[in-house]
């Protein structure tokens, strides 16, 4: 049962992804100068939604853009600002995540926030970047409850510590892999550089942990149920099947190389069991806080392509762990049109032990 289960990160449960070390927080905020803020909107059972802001401090009055790559795993989404990111290979604003029908209000509020900042007194063009997933099963998405005040609160409250995970911010009403989804984060250190990932999980498939499938209707696990209380296949899946992945790094990469990094982040969804359905909007944005070359300029300041393999591995491992954290840190949620159940930690650990991928002695306490 999961009713009294405490949210725990997978590493605290002894579930280790890859061999690379994490940063001190095991979060996207391990990348120097990257902050995260959440605004959570809950009025049960009708509203479970919110806003998450990823804020790179390197975007200030003196530096107006950062190199950024975009990879679209499947384009059934409403990623505001995507065409300019693809065309110019840069972001000009923080990155916001929210619910599908609130993305456009969030974009307007993001413009308000940036124009009010130092160095933008004469700005007459700006490309806000807002990603989304559809939380319409657990929240009344048509109400569009996200306001400018909610967005500004997430931006102004962005902090450098360990971000909230699970049912918080843009992950408050999401579902993933047959269970309650949410926000998750992780990081990896490689060759003196940091790669950090934050995800908003809201996609279908079979939850897979270290290669072991965990189905929501096996061994008495309560599945996601519809509003009438009857388990159905459709009720096990989120509305609008999508995932947003944000990758940050302090490695000196140009936009083309960051596009290659973003591609690996989407690839990592397969490790946790995504079925990549045609109605899914799967996007990854990867940006660098280092002084990489501007678009169109020589890339002599960037790493050589032959040196990228360790960063690719770090990205895939951090994304996999962030996706798992998004589910394991989530709690059972009774929503607008159904209930999403938290993944049962004990069952997962038993399955992993039986499969020989987790030690029998694992995990009564945190794992560093």
Q: How far apart are CA 223 and CA 233, in angstroms?
A: 9
Q: What is the pLDDT of residues 205-264, one digit of tens each?
A: 999 999 999 987 665 454 444 444 444 445 556 666 899 999 999 999 999 999 999 999
What DSSP designation does 24 have?
S
Catalytic residues: 242, 280, 282
Residues of the chain short of pLDDT 70, as ranges, are 1-3, 217-240, 291-301, 359-368
* Distances in whole angstroms, Cα of residue 185 to Cα of each of 11, 160, 235: 12, 13, 26
Q: Which DSSP helix (H) or strand (E) runs through 105?
A: helix 103-115
Q: What is the pLDDT of residues 46-71, one digit of tens each?
A: 999 999 999 999 998 889 999 999 99
Task: Domain 10-291+307-353: state its class.
Answer: alpha beta
* Whole-prediction pTM: 0.92
Query: For helices 309-328 and 255-267, what crossing angle results, to 10°?
Result: 50
* Cβ atoms 58, 292 nearer than 8 A: no
Measure the CA dihedral 45/49/50/54, to 10°: 140
Residue 348's pLDDT is: 97
Q: How far apart are CA 343 and CA 332, in angstroms?
A: 8
Residue 62's pLDDT is: 85
Residue 225's pLDDT is: 45
């Amino acid at each position: 049962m999961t009713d009294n289960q405490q949210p725990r990160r997978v590493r605290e449960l002894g579930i280790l992804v890859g061999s690379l070390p994490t940063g001190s927080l095991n979060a996207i905020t391990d990348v120097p100068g990257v902050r995260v803020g959440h605004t959570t909107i809950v009025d049960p059972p009708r509203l479970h939604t919110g806003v998450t802001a990823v804020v790179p401090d390197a975007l200030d009055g003196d530096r107006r853009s950062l190199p950024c790559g975009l990879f679209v795993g499947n384009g059934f989404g409403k990623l505001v600002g995507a065409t300019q990111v693809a065309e110019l290979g840069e972001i000009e604003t923080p990155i916001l995540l929210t619910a599908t029908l609130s993305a456009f209000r969030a974009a307007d509020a993001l413009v308000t926030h940036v124009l009010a900042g130092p160095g933008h007194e004469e700005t007459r063009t700006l490309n806000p970047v807002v990603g989304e997933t559809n939380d319409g099963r657990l929240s009344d998405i048509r109400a569009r409850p996200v306001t400018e005040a909610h967005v500004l609160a997430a931006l102004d409250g962005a902090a450098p510590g360990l971000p909230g995970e699970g049912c918080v911010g843009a992950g408050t009403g999401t579902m993933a892999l047959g269970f309650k989804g949410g926000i998750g984060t992780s990081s990896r250190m490689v060759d003196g550089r940091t790669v950090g990932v934050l995800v908003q999980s809201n996609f279908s498939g079979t939850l897979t942990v270290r290669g072991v499938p965990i189905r929501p209707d096996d061994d008495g696990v309560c599945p996601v149920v519809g509003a009438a209380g009857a388990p159905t296949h459709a009720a096990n899946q989120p509305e609008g099947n999508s995932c947003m992945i944000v990758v940050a790094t302090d490695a000196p990469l140009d936009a083309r190389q960051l596009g290659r990094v973003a591609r690996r982040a989407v690839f990592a969804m397969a490790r946790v069991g995504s079925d990549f359905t045609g109605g899914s909007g799967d996007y990854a944005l990867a940006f660098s806080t280092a002084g990489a070359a501007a678009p169109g300029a020589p890339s002599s300041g960037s790493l050589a392509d032959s040196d990228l393999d360790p960063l690719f591995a770090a990205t895939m491992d951090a994304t996999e762990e962030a996706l798992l954290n998004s589910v394991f840190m989530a709690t059972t949620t009774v929503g607008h049109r159904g209930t999403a159940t938290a993944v049962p930690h004990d069952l997962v650990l038993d399955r992993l032990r039986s499969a020989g991928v987790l030690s029998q002695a694992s995990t009564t306490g945190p794992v560093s």
